[in-house]
Amino acid sequence: MRALALKKDLNNILPPDIVNEIPSGFHIIGDIAVISLPPHLHEYRTLVARAISSRHHNIRAVVSKNPIPRGEFRLACMELVAGTRTTTVCREYGFSYRLDIARSFYSSKLASERRRVWMQVGKDERVLVPFSGVGPYAIPPAKRSAWVTAIEKNPDACHFFRENASRNRVKSHVLLIEGDVEETIPSLAPGFDRAIIPAPYGCDHALSLVMPLVRQGGILHFYTFKHATQIPSLKREYTDAGFSIRCIRTCGNVAPGIRRYVFDLEKKRVG
C-alpha cells in the first residue's frame, strides 16, 4: 500500500514514464525514510522525498541511499534529502536502539531474524558477537541473562552500542571490545556456548576465525551473501569443517541474484 500511494502521489508531479521507474517503496528506519534511486533518477530525489513526507507525517527525514558499501566500515553513502538529521531511535520487540544511519549499519528488515536467534539464547550462556554494530544482535541475548562479548571496530557504532546497552539496561552483561575482529579474536579465551556472526559482505573467513572459540556442541549463527547455486557446496564445506547444519534460512535479497543466508551450525562433538 505504501508503494502504491507513493506512485499515486508522484503521478501528479512527474511524467508517467519516470514514475514507472521509481522504486516500488522505501525502507523506514526509526522515523527516517530511506529511498534507493537509480543514478539516472537522482535528480528527482527531492520531489520523491517531498511526496513521502507529505503523506507520512511520522517521517522526520528522508535519505537517498547509494547501496554500494564504501570505506573501511563498508557503509552505504547516505544523502540527507529532507529533514535535518540522520540520527534516529529504532524499536523492535521491546528493545530500542539509537544510531546514526549515515555512520553505522542497521537494517530493520532483519528484526524478526534477530528475534529468532536471540529467543534461542539461554540464561548464563557465553555469547560472542563479532561485527556487533550498534547492538541489535548482542543486547537481546544480554537481556536474557547471557554473558555477551561484542566486537566492533567502527567508533561511531561503538558509541551508540554503549548508549544502547545503557538504554536497554544490560551494561552488566555486555563486554564491548572496540577493534578489528581479526586482530581481537586471538586474544579471546575459548569456551563460548554460542556465536552470532552477522558478517559483512566478503568476510566469510570470520567463520573459521570464530569456530575455535566455540565449545564442542556449541552453536554458530553465520550470515553470508551468496547466490543460490553456491549453497550446496557451502553445505559440504561446513559439514567437512566439523559442523552439523541445523537449518539454512534466507534473509532477503541484497543484489540481483544475491541473497543473505544464515546457517545455524552446531559444532560437532569429538569422541
Whether 67 shows a pLDDT value over 70: the answer reads no
The Cα 51–Cα 111 span in angstroms is 27
Q: Which segments of 22-107 does DSSP mark as H helices, in order?
A: 45-55
Q: State the average pLDDT over residues 101-105.
A: 93
Whether 271 shows a pLDDT value over 70: the answer reads no
Mean pLDDT of the chain: 92
Whether 270 shows a pLDDT value over 80: the answer reads no
pLDDT of 221 reads 98
Whether 60 shows a pLDDT value over 90: the answer reads yes
Residue 198: exposure state from Cβ atoms within 10 A (0-12, 13-18, ≥19): buried
Task: Specify the higher pLDDT residue, 269 or 164.
Answer: 164
Q: Which segments of the chain does DSSP mark as H helices, in order?
A: 2-10, 16-21, 45-55, 111-118, 139-143, 155-167, 181-184, 206-210, 231-240
Q: State the average pLDDT over residues 213-221.
A: 98
pLDDT tens across 226-262, in order? 999 999 999 999 999 999 999 999 998 887 889 999 9
Q: State the average pLDDT over residues 76-100.
A: 95
**Contact indicator for 91, 56 with CB cutoff of 8 Å:** no
Going by C-alpha positions, the residue among 100, 87, 81 that lies closest to residue 42 is: 81
Spell out the domains of the chain, with CATH numbers in brackets: 2-85 (3.30.300.110), 108-267 (3.40.50.150)
Task: Give the 3-state secondary structure of residue 260.
Answer: strand
pLDDT of 155 reads 97
Q: State the average pLDDT over residues 22-36.
A: 88
DSSP characters for 115-176? HHHHTTPPTT-EEEEES-TTSTTTHHHHHTT-EEEEEE--HHHHHHHHHHHHHTT-GGGEEE
Which of 4-13, 182-191, 257-266 is predicted least confidently? Answer: 4-13
Whether 1 shows a pLDDT value over 50: the answer reads no
Q: State the average pLDDT over residues 177-205.
A: 96
Whether 39 shows a pLDDT value over 70: the answer reads yes
The Cα 224–Cα 219 span in angstroms is 16
Whole-number Cα distances in Å, 220 to 32, 53, 162, 190: 32, 41, 24, 14
* 10 φ/ψ angles, rounded to the nearest 5 degrees: -75, -25
Whether 202 shows a pLDDT value over 80: the answer reads yes
Going by C-alpha positions, the residue among 97, 144, 138 that lies closest to residue 221 is: 138
